[in-house]
Amino acid sequence: MDKPKIVILTSRKWNEWIAKDSTILEISEPYLITDKNDFTIENLNKINPKYIFVPHWSLIISQEIFNQYTTIIFHMTDLPYGRGGSPLQNLILRGIKKTKISAILCTSFLDSGNVYCKEDLDLFGSAIEIFLRASKVVRQMIIKIVKENIIPFLQEGEIFEFKRRKPEESDITISPLDSIEKIYDFIRMLDAPGYPRAFLDLNEFRVEFSEVMVKEEGLKGTFEIKKKEYE
């Protein structure tokens, strides 16, 4: 029996390994797409995948694609709580320590599709550490969906929507950070490639913070000073 073809669609480097994972290769024929120019209906028709799995993708997926191919998005909240953008940052800002990754069907309405499965995810550590941990969970969920041919079910519960964060909201001075723990959370939640790091501006310079750790005497981390860029 032929193995089903699947597409792994991601714009983040830390998810690319999933398409090369040995267990994934045993049960399916995976194709990795990381460039928006390759994610076209013409290319997908050549592959003819059973599933398109989306660990991370910031662009709109066209209706033409998700109507023709089963497209499954992985969202870092216990949906329908936390529909919308910047889920990791919104969760940490609310003091949430644990969440779920929801595997949902892509539809025309943001994060509202039927649910294939949910798995637990801890939110300790830096953003990149959490994303790496999440990629392992997503791998397991893909294997489960492919092997078990899961039928998705309706989302249940009260809808709560998150707002996508803007780069200027990484300014550490405009947030109500009234404790060491809140400062620590603010810095760590933005500490991943491709995200605007926590910063403060000093005249024409910008100080960016990363690799933060909690010590008895306070916080320890790394900072980088750059000349501010003006539009």
Q: Which amino acid is at 226?
A: K
**Model pLDDT for residues 175-222, shown as the tens digit of each residue:** 889 899 999 999 999 999 999 999 999 999 999 999 999 998 899 999
Query: Which pLDDT score, from 0 to 100, does residue 114 have?
Result: 98
> Could you give phi then psi for residue 132, rounded to 5 degrees?
-65, -40
Which residue has 């499965």 as its token pair?
Answer: 117
- The verdict on 143 and 178 lying in the same domain is no
Instruction: Give pLDDT tens digits for 97-108.
Output: 999 999 999 999
- Nearest-CA neighbor of 71 among 16, 123, 139, 142? 142
Residue 84 Rama label (left phi>0; alpha psi -120 to 50; beta)? left
DSSP 156: -
| 131 and 219 co-located in one domain | no
Q: How many domains does the chain have?
A: 2
Q: Are residues 68 and 44 located together in one domain of the fold? A: yes
Strand 70-75, strand 51-56: pairing: parallel
pLDDT in tens, 47-86: 999 999 999 998 999 999 999 999 999 999 999 999 999 9
Task: Give the number of other Cβ atoms within 10 Å of residue 50's Cβ.
Answer: 17
Give yes or no for a contact between 112 and 155, defined as CB atoms under 8 angstroms apart.
Answer: yes
pLDDT for 217? 86
Q: Do 183 and 150 reside in the same domain of the chain? A: no
Confirm if 164 and 86 have CB atoms less than 8 A apart. yes
CATH number for 94: 3.40.50.170
Of 127, 144, 162, the residue at which a domain comes to its end is 162
127, 182: one domain:
no
Please answer whether residues 120 and 100 qualify as being in contact, where contact means their C-beta atoms are separated by less than 8 angstroms: yes
Facing residues of 31 across strands?
Answer: 7
Residues of the domain holding 93: 5-162
**Residue 211 and residue 107 share a domain:** no
Same domain, 149 and 193: no
**118-124 contacts: CB < 8 A, separation 24 or more?**
118/78, 118/79, 121/76, 122/97, 122/98, 123/88, 123/91, 123/92, 123/96, 123/97, 123/98, 123/99, 124/97
Q: What is the mean pLDDT of residues 166-170?
A: 95
Mean pLDDT score across all residues of the chain? 96
Based on the fold, state whether residues 118 and 180 are members of the same structural domain.
no
Asked if residue 40 and residue 82 are part of one domain, the reply reads yes
Answer yes or no: is pLDDT of 230 > 80. no
Domain boundary among 142, 162, 182: 162
